[in-house]
Chain A
Amino acid sequence: MWDDIFLIPFLTGLCLALVLPILGCFLRLRDEWLAALAYAHVAAAGALLALVSGVAPAIGGMTAAALAGAGKRFFSARLAGGASFALLLLGGWALAVLLAANQPLAERLGHALFDGQLYFSGSDNLYLVLPWCLLVIPLLAWLSRQLLLARIYPDYFHARHLPVWPVVSGFDLLAALTLALATMTLGVMGSFALVFVPPWIVFRRARSWRAGLFFSALIGALAYVAAFAMALGFDQPFGPVLALLLIAVGLLIA
């Protein structure tokens, strides 16, 4: 397992397995857990569109997710109640399926994106994921108080004449780019499992916000390590093994 061929994919996924559950806690705080699926589908569609246009899929995926994350705010009046994420999910899925159905090259990448291609991650991917994850954790720590205030005391910003949109839009962009990177490494459902299940468990069980973030990352990392070993040992695709493992852990302790 510790050969270079598996070490680099392992480390790449581990970075994401630590960050995605923390990001998921903030998405759950904002009642935006559907965002994980939405941004993942948009990133997949962007990657496929880039591929058929002769551009690197990673650039297309991250650009599409970033545009979705940053642009969501401009349609917020018409897309309240999570409608924006549902529409992004549907739009991303529809575009991805259409591209895959009409372009043989896109079909192969489409399967890889939805099923996950962790074992094929190279060092170039690790060099992108590792610094991004090292950047996201302090950024989330910095945004944490503002995001909690925006949720619990939205009037705090009104009363002090402070704009709340830089906090919210900054977080949206951060979430979109992280999920785009995760989708291109762990696949749509593998990423979603890490964003959804550990936060779901700790929101039920944790004694405090700080403990919740810590245990969320811990559950994500432990489940990831176990799933990686099991998938490799039993020669199974990684994403479904991770999802089933997290579901089992969730049902056991949530």
Chain B
Amino acid sequence: MSNTLLRTKQLVAGWQQPTTAPLDLSLNAGQILGLTGPNGVGKTTILSALAGRAKCFAGKMELRPGLRLALQTQEVAPVAGLPLSGKELLALTLASPDGLPPWLLERLDLRLDRLSGGQRHYLSLWAILQAPADVVLLDEPTNNLDTAGSEHLALALRRRVADGAAIILVSHDDGFVSTVCDQVLVLKGISDVG
């Protein structure tokens, strides 16, 4: 697989039954791959299958031996009512705070449930993005982010892959995808290829 970190061949994924069309993809170190397509084509399911959450019903998935994955989902981390500071959240995933925007750095000592929804989302995302991993899987990372947040995230993603990681990014934000991704795959529904 040389520089290739993961590869799928005719991968069909789903939860209780197959819900995605067969997919071929290949991801190299230093690459950002975007997955787009209309709702329901299985973008999140593909990410989940790569992370070992969803089932692979057909095809092949090859991961480089010892590959470390990190997955950010759209689910909100259950931190309401929990006395956990931003600094402690980053320490959990061993993520470094270096590079965080100033508007978050100065709030790292606060409890997560005292931050705004956007700040909390960005910090939760950062904890995954900067965790020690070879491949980072991001599901709609620009949700809840304002323009400044999206711009900072785009720079952070480029820096992350410059350090040798690779990223697969699922997003409905076409402008963001075209700005940061090296390659974009537009997924088709299972009925479109049937």
Contacts and interface: CB of A to CB of B under 8 A. Distances in A.
Interface of A: 29, 145, 148-149, 151-153, 155-156, 158-161, 202-212
Nearest to B53: A158
B84 A208 contact: yes
B92 A159 contact: no
25 contacts: A148-B84, A149-B92, A152-B77, A153-B77, A153-B92, A155-B71, A155-B73, A156-B70, A156-B71, A158-B53, A159-B69, A159-B71, A159-B133, A160-B68, A161-B52, A202-B83, A203-B81, A206-B83, A207-B109, A208-B83, A208-B88, A208-B109, A209-B85, A209-B88, A210-B88
A204 B82 CA distance: 8
Contacts, number: 70
Interface of B: 51-53, 68-71, 73, 77-79, 81-85, 87-89, 91-93, 109-111, 127-128, 131, 133, 137
A12 B53 CA distance: 46
Nearest to A213: B83
Dominant SS among interface residues on chain A: helix
Nearest to B110: A207
Contacts of A204: 81
A208 B112 CA distance: 9
B93 A155 contact: no
B172 to A, nearest CB: 21
Nearest to A155: B71
Contacts of A148: 84, 88, 92
A159 B128 CA distance: 11
A153 B128 contact: yes
A159 B133 CA distance: 10
A203 B81 CA distance: 6
B168 to A, nearest CB: 12
Contacts of A153: 77, 92-93, 127-128
Contacts of A29: 82
